[in-house]
């Protein structure tokens, strides 16, 4: 299995809703990531998990809450989002370790619309 | 902070060769990666350079000069399916922190 699977593919939520994005990989990767991508912009790093521990939070607002229940799963919990949070949310995984980069494998993303 | 610069758009014809340049300024630099992204698709890993020199993978090659803080992606024998956005990305520090440049939109014409 060489894929990162993200669910749901599309999500529309109101500003008072609580929802979660899910990401799963079975490549044995011990580093997992959340990126946010707006149209015609590059992916923007949000969070990095290394060996199931949060290692980087790029000053993301607390209405986004990541969780890594085990080495294969990564969640992003959403609460009280704003319309400007509408974007494509990409999950990625890679081998962990300092300076290693055998390439990130990205999921197809969840296209989120906040109304 | 980090900054990466790459051209916003490049146009080429089928069968041609195109080079996409990337310059960067960053602390804690470990290496330079390249990703391809088709419209509506996920970024796909193309290459990674940690050391100076050229890495070749099929029709794609990538080059890095650490002393010049410069790299490029070379695409040969262009095909229509190569029309996509290409991002250079720097790997920073010891925590797998990958930061993307703004991207270069490549349009391949017949």
Tell me what percent of the residues of chain B surpass a pLDDT of 70.
Answer: 98
Q: How confident is the model at residue B96 (pLDDT cuts 50, 70, 90)?
A: confident
Contacts with A2 from chain B: Cβ below 8 Å: none
Residues in Cβ contact with B87 at an 8 Å cutoff, skipping those fewer than 6 apart: A42, A43, B6, B34, B35, B36, B37, B43, B100, B101, B102, B103, B104
Which residues have C-beta within 8 Å of that of residue A25, sequence separation ≥ 6? A1, A3, A4, A5, A32, A72, A93, A105
Q: For position A102, what pLDDT does the model report? A: 66
Two tokens at B15? 């069968």
- Residue B12's pLDDT band, with cuts at 50, 70 and 90, is very high
CB contacts, 8 Å: B57 with chain A: none
Q: How close is the nearest chain A Cα to the Cα of B101, in Å?
A: 7
For range B9-21, the mean pLDDT: 98
Distance (Å) from the alpha carbon of B37 to chain A's nearest alpha carbon: 10
Q: What is the pLDDT of residues B57-89, one digit of tens each?
A: 899 999 999 999 999 999 999 999 999 999 999
Q: From the CA of A14, how many Å to the nearest CA of chain B? A: 24
A59 in contact with chain B, both atoms CB, cutoff 8 A: no
Cβ neighbors of B32 (< 8 A, separation 6 or more) are B22, B24, B48, B49, B62, B64, B71, B88, B89, B90, B91
pLDDT at A75: 98
> Would you call B96 and A42 a contact, using CB atoms and an 8 Å cutoff?
no
Give the mutation candidate from A34, A38, A39, A42 for the B interface (greatest B CB count, under 10 A): A42
Give the span between the Cα atoms of A111 and A97, in whole angstroms. 30
Please say whether the beta carbons of B50 and A101 come within 8 A.
yes
Confidence of residue A96 (pLDDT cuts 50, 70, 90): confident
Question: Shortest Cα distance from A93 to chain B (angstroms)?
Answer: 10
pLDDT at A101: 58
Q: Region B34-60: what's the mean pLDDT?
A: 95
Considering only CB atoms, B42 lies closest to which of A33, A55, A107, namely A107
For residue A107, the 8-state DSSP code is: P
Average pLDDT in the A50-79 region?
96
The pLDDT tens digits for A30-51 are 999 999 999 999 999 999 999 9
Is it the case that residue A3 has pLDDT exceeding 70?
Answer: yes
| Residue A100 confidence (pLDDT) above 80 | no
Name the band, by pLDDT with cuts 50, 70 and 90, for residue A14: very high
């Amino acid at each position: 299995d060489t894929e990162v699977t993200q669910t749901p593919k599309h999500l529309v939520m109101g500003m008072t809703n609580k929802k979660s994005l899910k990401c799963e990989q079975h490549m044995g990767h011990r580093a997992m990531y959340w990126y946010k991508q707006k149209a015609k912009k590059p992916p923007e790093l949000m969070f990095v998990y290394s060996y199931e521990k949060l290692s980087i939070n790029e000053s993301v607002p607390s209405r986004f809450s990541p969780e890594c229940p085990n080495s294969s799963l990564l969640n992003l919990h959403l609460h009280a989002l704003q319309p400007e949070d509408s974007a494509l949310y990409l999950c990625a995984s890679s081998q962990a370790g300092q300076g290693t980069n055998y390439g990130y494998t990205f999921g197809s993303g969840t296209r989120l619309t906040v109304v | 902070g980090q900054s990466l610069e790459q051209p916003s758009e490049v146009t080429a014809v089928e069968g041609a060769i195109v080079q996409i340049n990337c310059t960067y300024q960053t602390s804690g630099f470990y290496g330079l990666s390249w990703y391809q992204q088709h419209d509506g698709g996920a970024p796909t890993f193309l290459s990674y350079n940690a050391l100076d020199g050229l890495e070749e993978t099929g029709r794609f090659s990538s080059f890095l000069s650490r002393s010049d803080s410069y790299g490029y992606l070379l695409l040969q024998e262009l095909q229509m399916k190569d029309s996509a956005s290409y991002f250079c990305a720097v790997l920073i520090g010891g925590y797998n922190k990958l930061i993307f440049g703004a991207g270069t939109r490549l349009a391949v014409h017949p």
